[in-house]
Structure 1
Amino acid sequence: MTSNDAAAAGWFAVGDEETPADRVRDGSANAPADWPAAAVDAGFATDEDDYYAKLREATVAATRAAVDERERADDRQLLHAVRAMDDAERVANELAERVSEWAGTLFPDAGTGVDGCRALAERDPDGPAEERVVSLATRVADLAAEADELAGFIESRAPVAAPNLAALAGPVLAARLISLAGGLEPLAKKPSGTLQVLGAEDALFAHLRGHGSSPKHGIIYTHEYVRGTRPEDRGSASRALAGKLTIAARIDHYSGDYRPELEAELDERMRTIRARAPDAAGGGGDGE
């Protein structure tokens, strides 16, 4: 490769609508070369030190652009939304307890929980203490309403970001799995056995330390196919569900096309597992 050829192939040989960072992210070369010398020959850098300084600047800019792009991806928006929803619900419930205790000293008919706060928020306060209680109750009602809005956002966005996962797990559980894994790509790369126990890390670590049995399921317990299956068969149900969810996550990440046959296959598998019940098949389950 001549010096001119190397300069033309180098990351620093930017076009009219490119930046060095663009070339670092998207460019390639057919063979290695003496890039510092080529950059100096091309007039891009004054010397080798200048070349490496500009290379560092370009790589930092390329990395920052990649991070910004990744954070705006649909699965990352789901991750943030479900965490925000959970935080809003948790704080609303915690504050609702405080409001109930306080309101009970001022309003004999005060209700409890978030619903009690919604009712209090409609009152006309009389005096500084009642103003503060009504104001705090209003904040709780607003937080609960925000959690509902976030749930609506998740319901609408999960089928777009992960159509197969959302169809099998439901939008909120799909978002929780993505959140626990740190994104759709990390979730797609996990084996089904790991997905099966996501959310049960404390129990898993206790088991590894010899302080408990191995967990059979994590957050997927909230799925009807696990929660609604008799205890003897929940191990099989969890494995079947986790297997299909893993396939769904991989299809969503690597191709993104919707595969309705996954739902049919999961439904059939669950019918087989639930048929093990004595009143359905005259036999027992595989145990947990």
Structure 2
Amino acid sequence: IWQAGSLTLRLCLSQVLIHVLFEHAAGYALFAVKEVEEIGMLLPQVEESVLNIGKFNSMVSLAAFFPFKSAQAALENMNAISEGVVHADLKLFLETNLPHAKIGAALQEEFGISIQTGGVVAEITRGVRLHFHSLVKGLTGQAASKAQLGLGHSYSRAKVKFNVNRVDNMIIQSIALLDQLDKDINTFSMRVREWYGYHFPELVKIVPDNSMYCRLAQLIGNRKELSEESLESLEEVVMDNAKAQAILEASRSSMGMDISPIDLINIERFSNRVVSLAAYRLELQEYLRSKMSQVAPNLAALIGEVVGARLISHAGSLTNLAKYPASTVQILGAEKALFRALKTRGNTPKYGLIFHSTFIGRAAAKNKGRISRYLANKCTIASRIDCFSEVPTSVFGDKLREQVEERLSFYETGEVPRKNVDVMKEAVKEATDVAAEIKRKLEKKEKKRKKREKKLQELEANGEANGEAEVSFNISIWPCMF
């Protein structure tokens, strides 16, 4: 029988003889248990005798042991057991040692044997796990521990490597860093404005943008050195001839204090750091956009990369977001307001993080709650498609976005939107075509790779043959040189 949280199976072949199948990192072991009925009647005594290897040996004896040939074989068997699949090694082992013997429901279905569990079987299994290295000849406790540790690490690495939902961790870290950069850039920019404002206070009114102000502070330096020749470089930064001219005129009649060269150098260095942070933020946003197009393309197409990434980050993972109902997605990020409203019996919030979507802002005040419910519903559909689809495509996200646009138009003009069934049929058809195209490209790419590998192997084989010929030729002519 399969036991959750344990890799132990118990096979009962008759009322008198019980065989215990035990999975270990070293291999499969089959134990024969003696005097089942008497043991079952004296369960407390069984619990005591399990801890004593001498008494336990009188109850349990090793019937067969199948060691794994390699660490890779152990990992394959462990993956099969965790998925409830009968591996070929386990099947061969049971067929060899138990002629009428299959795991849990799978074993019972395939071999047709009766499988039972109970308190006594659990105690016997506990004893087998405790004394396993003593029951198997040639296996020491240290070797068993090393095998378990190695298999555990391999299993964990394999799960992390092949679990496609793990890549959303990069999105969670990226959006957290993006929010932190926004705060830091804003704080540092305010520091630059205050610091450089002592020297050139009029610049703040002309250029209110933080990033542009830092670039100008880096470019201008000492305002007294500005001239008509600097007008072109100023215009490149502000992208406006009138503003560049206004900066030049303000520098000539500025009321700011004079500043020493060493102070200007520090201001310029700090401005340079702020500008580089702003440039890195743009690169990070592009990286986030590319990751969202790979991990959650439909959610990104529906609600945008940044808002979609915030939803994934707040939920903890894309899988968690896909499990949430639409009502939870709607208020995700507004938990404090929700619990406060429930406590005071006030109005519950209409939206959380999805408020930053453009759809909520475009809706009329009376329709904001309705469109937020509709949008949350579509976000749930998009996240589930992204989580469980094999081929990443934004077809469904584009169609869902069209539906939200139609619903907004319906609230404003009364034009009846299309039915969800019809829209999804179109999306499924387009997605099938896209998946077929992607599959065709992958197959073509795989053929090219195999062809290239074959060519390299032929070249290597020819190179080795030529090398052997050269060696033999040199050996043959060597005596003739004397």
TM-score, scaled relative to structure 2 = 0.50
Letter in 2 for 1:226: I
Write the distance in 1 (CA, Å) between the matches of 2:217 and 2:172: 33
In structure 1, the partner of 2:72 is: 18
Letter in 1 for 2:320: P
Question: For the aligned residues, what is the CA RMSD?
Answer: 3.5
Percent identical residues: 26
Q: Secondary structure at the residue paired with 2:299?
A: helix
Post-superposition Cα deviations, 1:25-76, rounded to whole Å, max 9, x if no partner, equal 62527269534555544457435x985x558735763686378647993311
Write the distance in 2 (CA, Å) between the matches of 1:91 and 1:25: 47
Write the distance in 2 (CA, Å) between the matches of 1:98 and 1:25: 58
| C-alpha contact (below 8 Å) 1:71/1:77 kept by paired residues | no
- How big is the shift at 1:116? 0.5
| C-alpha contact (below 8 Å) 2:25/2:151 kept by paired residues | no
1:120 and 2:192 aligned:
no
Post-superposition Cα deviations, 1:123-172, rounded to whole Å, max 9, x if no partner, equal 45652222222222111111111111111111112111112111211222
1:46 and 2:46 aligned:
no
1:162 and 2:296 aligned:
yes
Letter in 2 for 1:26: N
Q: Secondary structure at the residue paired with 1:83?
A: helix
Task: Evaluate the alpha carbon distance shift between residue 188 and residue 124 of structure 1 in structure 2; reply closer, same or farther with a 3 A threshold.
Answer: same
Q: Secondary structure at the residue paired with 2:185?
A: helix
In structure 1, the partner of 2:410 is: 275
Letter in 1 for 2:70: D
- How big is the shift at 1:104? 0.5
Q: Secondary structure at the residue paired with 2:411?
A: coil
In structure 1, the partner of 2:189 is: 96
1:87 and 2:140 aligned:
no
1:246 and 2:260 aligned:
no
Write the distance in 1 (CA, Å) between the matches of 2:368 and 2:138: 64
Larger RCO (CA under 8 A, 6+ residues apart): 1
| C-alpha contact (below 8 Å) 1:88/1:143 kept by paired residues | yes
Q: Secondary structure at the residue paired with 1:205?
A: helix
TM-score, scaled relative to structure 1 = 0.80
Task: Evaluate the alpha carbon distance shift between residue 117 and residue 25 of structure 1 in structure 2; reply closer, same or farther with a 3 A threshold.
Answer: farther
1:192 and 2:329 aligned:
no
Write the distance in 1 (CA, Å) between the matches of 2:169 and 2:138: 38
Choose 206-215 or 32-41, whichever is displaced more.
32-41
1:57 and 2:149 aligned:
yes
| C-alpha contact (below 8 Å) 2:299/2:397 kept by paired residues | no
1:204 and 2:338 aligned:
yes
| C-alpha contact (below 8 Å) 1:165/1:249 kept by paired residues | yes
Larger radius of gyration: 2
Letter in 1 for 2:184: V
Write the distance in 2 (CA, Å) between the matches of 1:40 and 1:247: 54
Write the distance in 2 (CA, Å) between the matches of 1:221 and 1:250: 21
Structure 1 residue runs of 5 or longer lacking an equivalent are 283-288
Higher normalized strand content (fraction of residues): 2
Write the distance in 2 (CA, Å) between the matches of 1:168 and 1:124: 45
Write the distance in 2 (CA, Å) between the matches of 1:42 and 1:193: 56
Letter in 2 for 1:105: Y
Write the distance in 1 (CA, Å) between the matches of 2:295 and 2:191: 38
